[in-house]
Structures are given as structure tokens and as C-alpha cells.
Amino acid sequence: MLGIILLIVGIIGLIKGKISVTRTKELRRPASILVSLLFIAPFPLQILVGAGMGTQAVVDGEQDIELLKAKASRIGLVIFLICFLAGLGLAFVLAKPKIQDAPKRKSADYDDFDDRPTRPRSTENDADRDDRPRRRDELDDRPR
């Protein structure tokens, strides 16, 4: 469970570029990227180690699957703890006081732009309006 939470925090840290460490401190780029990668790293490392151990077991001809699972789970736990503690330690060391973000603008009064009031058109120049089409066709003989 802690591994999944760690993965989610790592992905959010990569996307947002900041990780809240305490109520008053946070990590911002580039430190947040380093810590996020450390939080994500246990999963690919465990897969690689498990694949390597399985390959070695096949080459050696070992038949005891339960022993292999126990070794892989202990090594996976060690990998997880190293990445977690290294990431947590770096997060506390590199954390800086939170910066207040700029206040967000209020959204427009209209949530549907089709209902917004339109500007009235002027009717005084209707007689002078040019009704020619604005598209140029290949039959158009005007110089370009």
C-alpha cells in the first residue's frame, strides 16, 4: 500500500513540479523531480531484479520457487526502503518555505458564452456595405 502511495506522490511531483513536505515547506523544481524519480524508482528496479533472479534460477536449474519468491521479496523490500528513505531524507533537506502563488482570477460572470450579451451593430453604414464575396476563387481575374 505504501508503495502505491509513493508511486502516486512521485507521479504528481513530476507533473506539478512541487511536492508538499510539511505544512510550511515544499519542494520545487529541480529538487522535486529528483525526489519524484526516487519515489518512482523502486518499481522498475524490483522488476529488473526479479527478472534477473528468475533468469539466474532457470540457468542454474533451481526448482524451489518459494525460496526464490522469499529472496525476491526481501530484496524488493530493501530496494523500496532505500529509495523511500533516500527520497524522504532529500525532501526534508532540500525543502524550502512555501511561496504564495498569485491569487487566481475570478471566472467570468457568464458560464455559457452563447448567452453573453452582444454588441449592437451599427445601422448607419448598411447602405455602404460591400456584398462581394470575400473568398478568392481561381476564376477571379483581379491581380494579386
Reduce the DSSP state of residue 49 to 3 states and report it.
Answer: helix
Q: What is residue 19's three-state secondary structure?
A: strand
CB 90 within 8 A of CB 31: yes
Domain boundaries, the chain: 7-97
Torsion-angle region of 143 (φ positive above 0: left; ψ -120 to 50: alpha; else: beta) = beta
Tell me the average pLDDT of the chain: 78
pLDDT score of 126 more than 60: no
Residue 10 clears pLDDT 60, i.e. is over it: yes
Is 141's pLDDT higher than 80? no
- pLDDT over 70, % of the chain: 69
- Per-residue pLDDT for 97 more than 60? yes
Residues 14, 8: Cα–Cα separation, whole Å? 10
CA distance linking residue 87 with residue 35, whole number of Å: 5
Which positions ≥6 away from 72 have C-beta within 8 Å?
Answer: 49, 50, 53
User: Is residue 122 very low, low, confident or very high in pLDDT (cuts 50, 70, 90)?
Assistant: low
pTM of the prediction? 0.58
Q: Give the model confidence (pLDDT) of 60-86 as tens digits.
A: 887 788 888 888 889 888 988 898 898
Question: Residue 57, CB half-sphere, CA atoms under 13 Å: how many?
Answer: 16
